[in-house]
Amino acid sequence: MSYARHSPVVGCLTGTPGSLPLCSRATRWDAAMTFSIFIVFRYYIYRLTTRLPEPPMNRMPARALTIARPLLQGLTVLNVLYAATITCLLCASFFVADWPWKPLGFDLATMHPQAPLGLRAIMVIGIVCALIVHAVLRRLVAIVDSVRAGDAFILPNAQRLNAIAWSVLAIELMRLAVLAISEVASLPGRMTGLSPTPWLAVLLLFVLSGVFAHGARLRSDLEGTI
C-alpha cells in the first residue's frame, strides 16, 4: 500500500495529482511496463515462498511405475528361460536311458509304474503355466504403460485385468492337477496343502476388473457430455 501511495509510477497510472507533470505518453507507457514487471516479480516471490515440497506419498506411485516396467520385463525373460529349461528336460526324458530313476536317483523297486508318465505330465503343465504367465506379464506391462500415460480407466485395461484373473484361476487349477498327479503316481517331494491366497487373488482381480470397467464407462459418459 505504501508503494502505491508514494510511487510516481503508480501515480502516472492512477492520475495522482502530484505525479501528473511527469506523465507524458512515453512516461505513462514506461510506468505501465515497470508496474507490470513489479507485479509479476511479486507474484513469483509469493509462489516461491509459499510452495510446499511434494509429499513423499505422491512421489511413491510414480517411482513404483518407473520401476515396474523393467521389473516386469526382467520377469518375462526369466519366465522364458524357465519354459525353455522345462522343454529341454521334457525332450531329454525321451532320449535319456533309464529315465527317470537313473538320472533322478529314484528307487526302481519302490517307484510307481506311472511315475515317468506323471513326471512328463507335470512338465507339460509347467510349460503351459509358463505360457500363461508370459501372457499375464505382457498384459501387466500394457497396464503400466497406460497408467504412466494417464489413461488408467480405459476399457482395454478392464479387459486385461479380467484376462489376468482367468489366467491366475487357470494356474491354480493346474496346481491342483499337479497335486493330484503327484498323489496318484506317488512322486517323492510332492506338494501338499492348499492355500486360500490364490483364490482370494482371483476374486480381487475380478472385482478390480469390474471397477476399471465401471470407471471406463463413467469416463466415456463424461466425455460424451462435454
Burial class of residue 168 in the structure, from the number of CB atoms within 10 Å of its CB (0-12 exposed, 13-18 middle, 19+ buried) = buried
Chain centroid to Cα 17, Å, comes to 67
Evaluate if residue 80 carries a pLDDT over 50.
Answer: yes
Q: What percent of the chain has pLDDT over 90?
A: 28
In this structure, are residues 12 and 34 in contact, taking their beta carbons and an 8 Å threshold? no
Domain boundaries, the chain: 2-50, 58-225
CA 20, 21, 24, 26 torsion: positive or negative?
negative
- The residue whose grid cell reads 526324458 is 93
- The residue whose grid cell reads 479387459 is 159
In this prediction, residues 95-106 reach a mean pLDDT of 71
Give helix 115-148 / helix 56-92 axis angle, nearest 10°: 150
Instruction: In whole angstroms, give the CA distance from residue 122 to residue 127.
Output: 9
Give the mean pLDDT of the chain.
76
User: Which pLDDT score is estimated for 93?
Assistant: 86
In this structure, are residues 165 and 209 in contact, taking their beta carbons and an 8 Å threshold? yes
Residue scoring higher pLDDT (6 or 173):
173
Instruction: In whole angstroms, give the CA distance from residue 161 to residue 206.
Output: 7
Query: Per-residue pLDDT tens for 21-60?
Result: 444 544 555 555 565 666 655 555 555 555 445 444 445 5
Record the cell numbers describing residue 223, joined without a space: 466425455
Query: Per-residue pLDDT tens for 125-183?
Result: 999 999 999 999 999 999 998 888 877 888 899 999 999 999 999 999 999 998 888 88
Q: What is the largest CA-CA distance in the chain?
A: 118
In this structure, are residues 159 and 210 in contact, taking their beta carbons and an 8 Å threshold? no
